[in-house]
Amino acid sequence: MAQSTSSPARDQALRDSLLVRYAAAAAAGNITLKQALSQEATYLGIHLNRTPNPLAGLH
């Protein structure tokens, strides 16, 4: 079985990507996509409500 490789840079890139997509869904008012992204965040172990200002700077 292959081991997954994870690095802090990769983890941060995943978080950043998720937050950008979540901000875009929020701006578009797409509740379905926001829910899907929340599920993805949970799967990845990212807590959107625990991230300080998750949408700060994403206008």
30-51 pLDDT, tens digit per residue, is 999 999 999 998 888 887 665 4
Asked, for residue 56, whether it belongs to a domain, the answer is: no
Asked, for residue 3, whether it belongs to a domain, the answer is: no
The model's pTM: 0.67
Q: Could you list the residue range(s) of the whole structural domain that residue 40 is in?
A: 9-50
Report which secondary-structure segment, H or E, holds 37.
helix 31-44
Asked, for residue 4, whether it belongs to a domain, the answer is: no
**CA-closest candidate to residue 24, choices 52, 44, 51, 54:** 54
Give the span between the Cα atoms of 40 and 34, in whole angstroms.
10
State how many domains the chain has.
1
Asked, for residue 38, whether it belongs to a domain, the answer is: yes
Asked, for residue 25, whether it belongs to a domain, the answer is: yes
Give the span between the Cα atoms of 36 and 41, in whole angstroms.
9
> What number is the average pLDDT over the span 13-41?
92
